[in-house]
Amino acid sequence: MSSVTIKDVARLAGVSPSTVSRVISNHPKISPATKKKVREAMEALGYHPNIMAQSLVSKNTQTLGLVLPHSAEKIFVNPFFSEVLRGMLAYANIKQYDILMSSANNPKEEIEAVTRMVLGRRIDGIILMAPRQKDPIVEKLLEYQFPFVLLGRSMEHDHVLSVNNDNIKAAYDITNHLIKQGHKRIGFVSGPPDLVVSIDRLEGYKKALLEAGLPVHPDWIIGEDVLQGNAFHALTMIMNSPEPPTAFVVTDDVVAFGLIRELYAAGFHVPQDVSIVSFNNIVLSELSNPPITTVDIGIYHLGYLTVQHLIRKLSGEEIEKPQMIVPHRLIIRESSMKLQ
Amino acid sequence: MSSVTIKDVARLAGVSPSTVSRVISNHPKISPATKKKVREAMEALGYHPNIMAQSLVSKNTQTLGLVLPHSAEKIFVNPFFSEVLRGMLAYANIKQYDILMSSANNPKEEIEAVTRMVLGRRIDGIILMAPRQKDPIVEKLLEYQFPFVLLGRSMEHDHVLSVNNDNIKAAYDITNHLIKQGHKRIGFVSGPPDLVVSIDRLEGYKKALLEAGLPVHPDWIIGEDVLQGNAFHALTMIMNSPEPPTAFVVTDDVVAFGLIRELYAAGFHVPQDVSIVSFNNIVLSELSNPPITTVDIGIYHLGYLTVQHLIRKLSGEEIEKPQMIVPHRLIIRESSMKLQ
DNA sequence: GTGAAAGCGCTAACAT
DNA sequence: ATGTTAGCGCTTTCAC
């Protein structure tokens, strides 16, 4: 692993270092002859530009930062995450960008990680996943005037770059699907309450109920910790009440898996006793037993467009609409089969 | 987002840039007084060292490279991946390392991505996931003499750093579990055939059968593409033969999900008609219907130790045993309930 | 204990 | 079209 520099190439090609530099960056006025000579020398020596040195002077790094949401949300984010990352990397790859990841165990570390990346000038822009209400990182980045994109949306700032689903509409649509099936008592299983996505989906659910003249029953809105069994008690309470829900809108496929399992353990079958619909359409939702009715939010696409949006901004393109919306569609499966 | 440099700090603190540098790197002989002055100046200006400049001279980047396996393996790797990444980032975070990801659509791009990172001196070491038999990237890295660690193992080089399960033993153990349940006709669903992990698990399966005096039936060893339904035909063929398998060892939980689904569609129930066991113990395997018997391979731990192993190597520690083995354990669930 | 100076590998005026 | 020069922000001898 030799360390061949631009000077070595210059020497071998019999030109000056700056000429080599020009060849690298495809400078227009460079004679075909020398270009060829230099290319050959680079090839012969196995030259690759030192990216640190390039960045130091050019002030850009061809790198995007991504902070992994901290563990509190791990279950919520889990299978979604690798798919969205695939989409991100796919576009980044096209544009020769890499993605620098950092993790954090709590909001404080999260800020630190971002600060280190941004002020350490390691990245050109940053991708924020799962933004919260009044998200401190968003505020910080705004303050730094550092380019970033949200996978999700900001509730406070509508001029920030973001790629999102219309989660209110999505929740509204999927809830209406249940209503059309004849359900009148519909519960909701929420995600972490400070995530914007949780708030939006809850709102869409409520909107559909209200429009249909159905009651919004606060006791039927439960936390996502059913999966851990913490809310098992709450669930049995609800299900053993005189008039239990006949359906649930669940904020995430993984949570839906858990819920189906908990219901089963409590003696309730899906969809015979209770219907389940959820969000994301992760691969496994189709392979669930029963297969889960869900909202396909285009996870891969979401990741892909997020990076595209950010890179466009970085290359100085005029962004007509900062808020991009990725369309969703309902995938109707067995878990919400029509009531007889 | 001002760009405050070491000079600015030096000026404000009334010292030379080199002194500031010494404070940053905790140089021993520096008077407490100046140290304090400099620290205050850094604080006041919001100084953060430019990591590119640091790297350029110090020749290390505090960054590890990771190449996402290309899409062919996406199904195999999917839910496993985010968990292993969490483990990697957790340890990296402790040691103030970041992880630089790059993706590739094919083996050629994979090599390119690695070359760009390595020769571009962007990273100090590299993590390779899911190594193959005679893996070209391993050969390349060996040739460059560049530090790397395998999540898995090399079949050819036993001195390379690696963190792995004993997959042969794991497959042997889980197959024996089925044999103890009274199964005599046991099939196998494989992963991508050139992955070392696939080869090892197949070997362990065969070993258990042979030792028990049971037949290894080549027709019962099928590819992982059952999930896509491509091998659906093969599966029904097998199941409709006069003496079909009564159990399957499946190489991956996700594939097991798919298999259970396919079997169900073909009229076979798990575990009444056929038992299923698999590997990885992803979160959802417990929430499957039925819950899946699987080998817990300690995914998070695997990621954590992989990075630990590599960072130790990078910091010049003497590595006593280059090949680390993470213990596995069987998680017995409903999908392999005893035959009556 | 601290400063001055050189240089890491590269790019970008400014010359010619 | 190409070479010369001066940095980018930092670390690290080498002086004192």
Phi-psi region of A188 (alpha: psi -120 to 50; beta: other; left: phi over 0): beta
- Residue with the two structure tokens 């991100």: A88
Asked whether the beta carbons of residue B89 and residue A71 sit closer than 8 angstroms, the reply is: no
First to last CA, chain B: 70
Which residues 49-108 of chain A have a CB under 7 Å from nucleic chain D? 53, 56-57
Query: How confident is residue B290, by pLDDT bands cut at 50, 70 and 90?
Result: very high
A324 token code pair: 């991009």
Q: Which long-range contacts (CB under 8 A, 24 or more apart) does B133-141 make?
A: B133/B194, B133/B195, B133/B196, B133/B199, B136/B107, B136/B111, B137/B67, B137/B110, B137/B111, B140/B111, B140/B114, B140/B115, B141/B114
| DSSP letter string, A27-84 | -SS--HHHHHHHHHHHHHHT----HHHHHHHH---SEEEEEPPPGGGHHHHHHHHHHH
pLDDT of A136 strictly over 80: yes
A21 touches strand C (CB under 7 A): yes
Q: Is residue A36 part of a domain?
A: no
The pLDDT of residue B197 is: 94
Same domain (yes/no): A193, A76: no
* A41 found inside a domain: no
| Nearest-CA distance B101 → chain A (Å) | 5
Position A234 scores a pLDDT of 78
Q: Dihedral sign for Cα A286, A132, B82, A86, please.
A: positive
Cβ-defined contact of B99 to A104 (cutoff 8 Å): no
- Minimal Cα–Cα distance from A112 to chain B, Å? 11
pLDDT over 80 at A230, yes or no: no
Whether residue A97 is contained in a domain is answered as yes
Question: By mean pLDDT, which of A127-136, A172-181, B102-111, B206-215 is the weakest?
Answer: B102-111
What's the number of CA atoms in the CB half-sphere (13 Å) around residue B221?
Answer: 16
Residue A74 has pLDDT above 80, yes or no: no
Q: What pLDDT sits at residue B231? A: 61
Contact flag, residue B6 CB and nucleic strand D, below 7 A:
yes
pLDDT tens-digit map of B141-199: 999 899 999 999 999 999 999 999 999 999 999 999 999 999 999 999 998 888 999 99
Strand order in the sheet with A98-102: A323-326, A162-165, A148-151, A125-129, A63-67, A98-102, B98-102, B63-67, B125-129, B148-151, B162-165, B323-326
User: Does residue A242 belong to any structural domain of this protein?
Assistant: yes
* CATH value at residue B88: 3.40.50.2300
Supply A141's token pair: 């980045």
Nearest to A305 by CA among A137, A130, A164, A95: A164
Q: What's phi and psi for A126, nearest 5 deg?
A: -135, 145
Give the model's pLDDT for residue B71: 59
Could you say which nucleotides of strand C lie within 7 A of any protein CB atom?
1-5, 7-13
Share of chain A residues as helix, strand and coil, in percent rounded to the nearest 5: 50, 15, 35
Are A179 and A129 part of one and the same domain? no
Does residue A190 share a domain with residue A150? no
Q: Is residue A339 assigned to a domain?
A: no
Q: What is the pLDDT of residue A73?
A: 59
Q: Are B202 and B154 contained in the same domain?
A: no
Calculate the angstrom distance between C1' of C13 and CA of A57: 13
Q: At what angle do helices B167-180 and B196-211 cross, to 10 degrees?
A: 40
**pLDDT digit string, tens, across residues B130-143:** 899 999 999 999 99
A18 touches strand D (CB under 7 A): yes
Residue B229 banded pLDDT, cuts 50, 70, 90: low
Give the mean pLDDT of A59-75.
79
Q: What is the mean pLDDT of chain A?
A: 91
State the smallest CA–CA distance between residue A85 and chain B in angstroms: 9
Q: What is the pLDDT, as a whole number, of residue B69?
A: 74
pLDDT of residue A77: 58
CB contact under 8 A, A105 and B93: yes
Tell me what pLDDT residue A340 has: 52
The CA distance from A276 to A274, in Å, is 7
- All residues of chain A having their beta carbon less than 8 Å from the beta carbon of residue B1 are 118-119, 144-146
Chain A 75-104, residues with CB within 8 Å of chain B CB atoms: 75, 77-79, 81-83, 85-86, 89-90, 92-93, 98-104
Domain containing A318 equals 63-165+299-325
Calpha distance A225→B307 (Å, rounded)? 31
Please check the confidence at residue B338 and state whether its pLDDT lies above 80: no
Which residues in 55-94 of chain B line strand D, with CB less than 7 A from it?
56-58
User: In this model, does residue A332 exceed pLDDT 80?
Assistant: yes
Interface touch B117/A98, C-beta < 8 Å: yes
* CB of A74 less than 8 A from some CB of B: yes
Same domain, A111 and A254: no
Look at residue B321 and tell me if it is in a domain. Answer: yes
Residue A222 pLDDT > 60: yes
Q: Are residues B133 and B143 in the same domain?
A: yes
Where residue B79 falls among pLDDT bands split at 50, 70, 90? confident
DSSP character for B339? Answer: P
Of A177-186, A207-216, B85-94, least confident by mean pLDDT is: B85-94
Asked if strand D contacts A30 at the CB level, meaning under 7 A, the answer is yes
Average pLDDT, chain B: 91
For B116, nearest residue in chain A (alpha carbons): A48
CA distance linking residue A212 with residue B297, whole number of Å: 49
Size of interface A-B (CB pairs under 8 A): 163
**CA proximity to A244, closest of A285, A189, A172, A187:** A187
Same domain, B267 and B157: no
Report the pLDDT value the prediction gives residue B75, as an integer from 0 to 100. 57
CA A102 / C1′ D11 distance in Å: 26
- Please answer yes or no on whether B86 and A74 come within 8 Å at the CB atom: yes
Domain contains A86: yes
Domain total in chain B = 2
CB proximity A142 to B under 8 Å: no
CA A39 to C1' D4 (Å) is 22
**Dihedral sign of CA atoms A243, A246, A248, A249 in order:** negative
- Average the pLDDT over B269-281 and give the result: 96
Contact flag A103-B122 (C-beta cutoff 8 Å): no
Would the Cβ of A25 be found within 7 angstroms of any atom in strand C?
yes
B89 contacts on A by Cβ (under 8 Å): 68, 101-103
Q: What is the pLDDT of residues A21-56, one digit of tens each?
A: 999 999 988 899 999 999 999 999 999 999 999 999
Q: What residues 251-270 of chain B have any CB closer than 8 A to a CB of chain A?
A: 254, 257-258, 260-261, 264
Claim to verify: residue A267 and residue A317 sit in the same structural domain: no
Mean pLDDT of A233-247: 89
Nucleotide minimizing C1' to CA distance for residue B19: C2
pLDDT of residue B227: 56
Residue at token pair 């910790």:
A225
Q: Are residues A182 and A80 in the same domain?
A: no
Tell whether A143 and A215 lie within a shared domain. no
On whether any CB of chain A is under 8 Å from the CB of B57, the answer is: no
Q: Which residues contact B248 (CB under 8 A, 6 or more apart)?
A: B186, B187, B188, B189, B259, B274, B275, B276, B277
Same domain, B133 and B173: no
Q: Is a pLDDT exceeding 80 seen at residue A331?
A: yes
In a domain, B232, yes or no: yes
Considering the domain architecture, whether residues A207 and A251 belong to the same structural domain is answered as yes
pLDDT value at position B29?
A: 86
Q: How many Å lie between the alpha carbon of A165 and the closest alpha carbon of chain B?
A: 22
